[in-house]
Structure 1
């Protein structure tokens, strides 16, 4: 830099001078150039030169941010991913249960259809049997009525014949009654 116009004097302690010389040597500058660069730095960055912790604060914030991000990633690895995997396993298990349930329902419905078919056949045969019994009962009642009519006919005809009737008339009556009974 080496600008010598309008030189001003700044007074500082011997200890500060040693530090300025150390900074200048470290960066390969003269004391004046190091001082000018420091002034430019604070002017451009608008930082307070009294705030020594500005960089330390940035570093601390960055470290804390990195720690928080690492913590969140760790939580994701430890909690969120296992929860997601458990959820996927649970959903797969639920799908398996639903398929098994549907299969059981289908099998049960088929079994019920078979049982219903068997019951329908059995009920049909019971109905047919009851109809035959009903018909047999009707036939029996009709038969009783007819036998009763034949018996009444026989009794009336026998009374008409009386004591003086011939054996041939009696035999004819018996044969006619027998024939009517056989025709039932």
Structure 2
């Protein structure tokens, strides 16, 4: 079996300190970190001396453009309709507020009218009760008067033509007194 670790690289101590910090940060050995760095530069074809990597810049710009495009699409598809609809909803809400205020005014007026109507109905009921009482009193008065008249007629008939004036006057006085007692 052949050992794959046959090559070695020499570098300064300052570079070794940096490499060790990178390896500790990544949680790998220095050897694994060096192997992965070489693999990275080999695959990406990037020059380690070029700190202003144009491919990386292009990728970042493309990523940013995609993100901005996504936001613009979301804004066009969702936010703008929501804003325009919310303006319409605010207008409708203001109209509904006016309608509700008008309904409130109408209800207050209707309440006042209902109170007046209830007062009128109460007064009408009192008037009807008073009229009913007067009608009952009138009927009772007619009945009593009818009894007095009947009494007068029967007594007058029984007296005849020959009866003294004193008896006639007593009858008249009795009938008058009965009428006054009504």
TM-score by length of 1: 0.58
Shift of 1:164: 2.1
Shift of 1:141: 0.8
Shift of 1:44: 5.5
Q: Which residue of 2 aligns with 1:71?
A: 69
Q: Which residue of 2 aligns with 1:171?
A: 169
* Structure-1 separation of matches of 2:163 and 2:113: 71
* Structure-2 separation of matches of 1:131 and 1:108: 34
* Structure-2 separation of matches of 1:110 and 1:48: 81
Q: Which residue of 2 aligns with 1:30?
A: none
CA deviation digits over 1:117-176, x for unaligned, max 9? 111111111111101110111111111111111012112322332332113322332243
Shift of 1:85: 1.9
Would you say the 8 A contact 1:42–1:48 is kept in 2?
Answer: no
5+ residue gaps in structure 2? 1-36, 46-52
Q: Which residue of 2 aligns with 1:145?
A: 143
Residue pairs, 1:75-154, within 5 angstroms = 75-154=73-152
The 3 A distance-change label for structure 1 pair 48 and 177 is closer
5+ residue gaps in structure 1? 1-40, 50-54
Would you say the 8 A contact 1:147–1:181 is kept in 2?
Answer: yes
* Structure-2 separation of matches of 1:113 and 1:74: 56
Let me know the Cα RMSD of the aligned residues. Answer: 3.4
**Which structure: larger Rg?**
1
SS of 1:46's equivalent in the other structure is: helix
Q: Which residue of 2 aligns with 1:47?
A: 43
TM-score by length of 2: 0.59
